[in-house]
Chain A
Amino acid sequence: MKKNISSLVKNKSKMNYDLDLLKDMYKKMLLIRRFEEKAGQLYGMGKIGGFCHLYIGQEAVVVGIQSAQIEGDSIVTSYRDHGHMIACDMDPKGVMAELTGRVDGYSKGKGGSMHMFSREKGFFGGHGIVAAQVPIGAGLAFAHKYNSNNNVCITYFGDGAANQGQVYESYNIASLWQLPVIFVIENNKYGMGTSVNRSSAGDNLSDRGKAYGIESEIVDGMDIIAVREAAIKAIEYCRLGKGPYILEMKTYRYRGHSMSDPAKYRTRDEVEKIRKTSDPIENIKVLLNKMGVADKVLKDIDVEIKSIIADAAKFAQDSPEPSPSELYTDITIN
């Protein structure tokens, strides 16, 4: 496992990490966190319905990986997708308006929290069926290879999803056909109320690629620098045409599985401890401080983000509901 941020701080060479890049990553993680907090609040007020899965705690994974991508790479993930969309530079207003089921949402209000897409930003969903996105990701990678465009597909899935058969069918074909796909397992320790050791045999989920000859690495997913460096390595490997790569990100979700999860399967202490010691945003903040970024600068970032989120929340509530005629559009193209 990579060293965590606190040890990086002691390591002087890491203090030379590009400051603007660090600031950008900090900003994006904070944007995701504040977005999710607002979404949780709007859910509590009944403005968002159905299932709403928050990404709080896992921000470093998607932001770190995104920092290693290039234009044209594609991304696909599960229903816990708000963070991924914000990381792809999709507009928080459009994402929030989809959560409220309004016409200005990315799916015109027809998809909701779990089902959103932006072809323009290379975001291919937002999928509600556990692990369904995994072969889809391998298929997107197939298209990249077929078109020889030197792009890769980042395919995210959870520790719970990692047990579905279609994951292994995808591993096999991806390896056989040398597809440029990075399988990112977001191991947040739980699939709903079942801890990973109650659902998954064997030691590490990443080991399961070995049977198919797929390279893999376990990464501290709470440490954005470790995530970024692992992603650079994996993406480079894929771009060189060497086939798929597995990154198992050890991460943690602070909130319940969805809004209606009483979370009796873990102790409050467990959550608190990780929050206090490994919070990805707090750790970067400390690093920035040590690198000489003034408190005032961080405060300004905070204020800026709060206003982006406030605008998104207002936009999402002011946007009208889709017109009834939308019920019958987009079913088939012709």
Chain B
Amino acid sequence: MTIEILMPALSPTMEEGTLAKWLVNEGDSISSGDLIAEIETDKATMEVEAVDDGKIGQLLVPAGTEGVKVNTPIALLIDSTESPHTSIKSIADKPYLEKEKITTELKIEKTVTLEPNSSIITVREALRNAMAEEMRSDKKVFVMGEEVAEYQGAYKVTQGLLDEFGNKRVYDTPITEHGFAGIGIGAAFGNLKPIVEFMTFNFAMQAMDQIINSAAKTLYMSGGQMGCPIVFRGPNGAASRVAAQHSQCYASWYSHCPGLKVVSPWSSKDAKGLLKSAIRDPDPVIFLENEVMYGQSFSCPDDDDFLIPIGQANIEKEGSDVTIIAFSIMVGKSLEAADILNEKGIKAEVVNLRSLRPLDIETIINSVKKTNRAVTCEEGFPFAGIGAEISAAINENAFDWLDAPVNRVTGKDVPMPYAANLEKLAIPQVDDIVNACSEVCYKS
């Protein structure tokens, strides 16, 4: 009996990992539940437990190997009566037995161009740097949320903040969103500058009343006395395979409300520049991140005072035939779509909104006047969505310039399904953008 022990998937998004350390040797007897190895993912180092009883026949992947794909055999488990290296001859011709061949294989990512005075960092690092820089320069800034301190953040965005700033500036809260959102708002009324992390924006639904009724409206109700300088931040939008209650885009919900500012970064540069502006802003800002983007790397300015103004969109790619208007993760998908469209002879311009409220209507309209066609992209539901708002703005401001009706790419009008095939259908994909653009160019 030989059982292959496979590289396990340790999180919903893990495709590969580093086999950091073996905790067993060849010839060791193990039983189910014993620790056998330490594996590093982009989020954490985790211990792997054996699921069967037996003896370690051979370790196939040496400790320290990076980029080991999920489901690659990493060791062979044999009967406790056999001796190591004997029963494995029958499969010895399999390529994975040649240990040397499993070398450090870095994930091939799109090449990122390093801009001057910048570093290539992940969106996660950019967000953390933005918070740390603002906390250094302004003692009124503090962070609170579930697992943000000792656990270093459920998605590791607040990593290291407790170490640097201590427990007077970084607070683990109980799982009580409505309560701690309200406490943050009260602290902001008391002249502090809270950054409130929601583990994900799905859980901010518990806190909706405080966000809308207290944070957004009090300045108005107090005739301008009661400013509320607070940032509510956390991942928003579709995550991977977590189904309807954990996978939803709330951009249109918050953007609906006067009194709030709503921003949603795509790249590391956006993340840093917008989060710093949000922290410095005197109004409540809803800061919508995206879990899938956290691990992606981009060039990001090093400057401690690098800011991106709230309310300004950015043209990520110029084009003459159609304007794609997107935010957050959909910007990356739109750029991919633009490359494909280019091969089909359609030159797409990609507008990264960055802010949803206030919305940079001027940039959108100027682009549409140039291309005469527009496609909006979002992960949220179509009904009363961001695309509907943009489409109305285009109608109101550039109707005479349009050569085709505005087309919307959105998440499907259904709660997010769990099944892999249905989830893929529900989330807007690059092809959907390509098709929507071809349609408005009458080239489908």
Binding site for B on A (CB under 8 A): 37, 40-41, 43-46, 49-51, 98, 101-102, 107, 109-115, 127-131, 160-161, 163-165, 191-194, 198-200, 256, 259-265, 268, 275, 321-322, 324, 326-328, 331
In the complex, the answer to whether A324 meets B422 with C-beta atoms within 8 Å is yes
In the complex, the answer to whether A192 meets B422 with C-beta atoms within 8 Å is no
In the complex, the answer to whether B146 meets A110 with C-beta atoms within 8 Å is no
B11 interface residue per 8 A CB criterion: yes
| CA distance in complex: A41, B172 (Å) | 32
B370 interface residue per 8 A CB criterion: no
Q: Is the interface of A mostly helix, strand, loop or mixed?
A: loop
In the complex, the answer to whether B419 meets A194 with C-beta atoms within 8 Å is no
In the complex formed, the residue of A with least CB distance to B38 is A262
Q: How many residues of B contact A (CB 8 A)?
A: 54
In the complex formed, the residue of A with least CB distance to B10 is A260
In the complex formed, the residue of B with least CB distance to A103 is B419
| CA distance in complex: A129, B175 (Å) | 10
Q: Find chain B residues with CB under 8 A from A114 CB.
A: 242-243, 245-246
Q: Find chain B residues with CB under 8 A from A327 CB.
A: 412, 414, 417, 422, 425-426
A41 with B147, Cβ < 8 A, contacts A163-B175, A260-B11, A262-B46 known? no
A200 with B174, Cβ < 8 A, contacts A112-B242, A193-B147 known? yes
Q: Find chain A residues with CB under 8 A from B14 CB.
A: 260
Q: Which of A37, A263, A264 contacts B51 (CB 8 A)?
A: A37
In the complex, the answer to whether A262 meets B45 with C-beta atoms within 8 Å is yes
Q: Find chain B residues with CB under 8 A from A43 CB.
A: 8-9
In the complex formed, the residue of A with least CB distance to B12 is A50
Q: Find chain B residues with CB under 8 A from A165 CB.
A: 176, 178-179
> Interface 1/0s, chain B 126-153, versus A by CB < 8 A?
0000000000000000000011001100
Q: Find chain A residues with CB under 8 A from B175 CB.
A: 130-131, 160-161, 163-164, 191, 199
Q: Find chain A residues with CB under 8 A from B6 CB.
A: 44-45
In the complex, the answer to whether A49 meets B241 with C-beta atoms within 8 Å is yes
B253 interface residue per 8 A CB criterion: no
Q: Which of B47, B413, B414, B418 contacts A101 (CB 8 A)?
A: B418
Q: Find chain A residues with CB under 8 A from B47 CB.
A: 262-263
B70 interface residue per 8 A CB criterion: yes
> Interface 1/0s, chain B 1-44, versus A by CB < 8 A?
00000101111101000000000000000001101000001011
Q: Find chain A residues with CB under 8 A from B176 CB.
A: 163-165
> Interface 1/0s, chain B 405-420, versus A by CB < 8 A?
0000000111101111
In the complex, the answer to whether B244 meets A46 with C-beta atoms within 8 Å is no
B211 to chain A, nearest CB (A): 15
In the complex, the answer to whether A321 meets B245 with C-beta atoms within 8 Å is no
14 inter-chain pairs at a CB distance below 8 angstroms, sorted by A residue, are: A45-B6, A50-B243, A101-B241, A109-B417, A115-B418, A128-B245, A160-B174, A163-B174, A192-B146, A262-B46, A324-B421, A324-B422, A326-B422, A331-B415
Q: Find chain B residues with CB under 8 A from A194 CB.
A: 146-147, 150-151, 172, 174
B71 interface residue per 8 A CB criterion: yes
| CA distance in complex: A114, B51 (Å) | 23
Q: Which of B43, B51, B205 contacts A260 (CB 8 A)?
A: B43
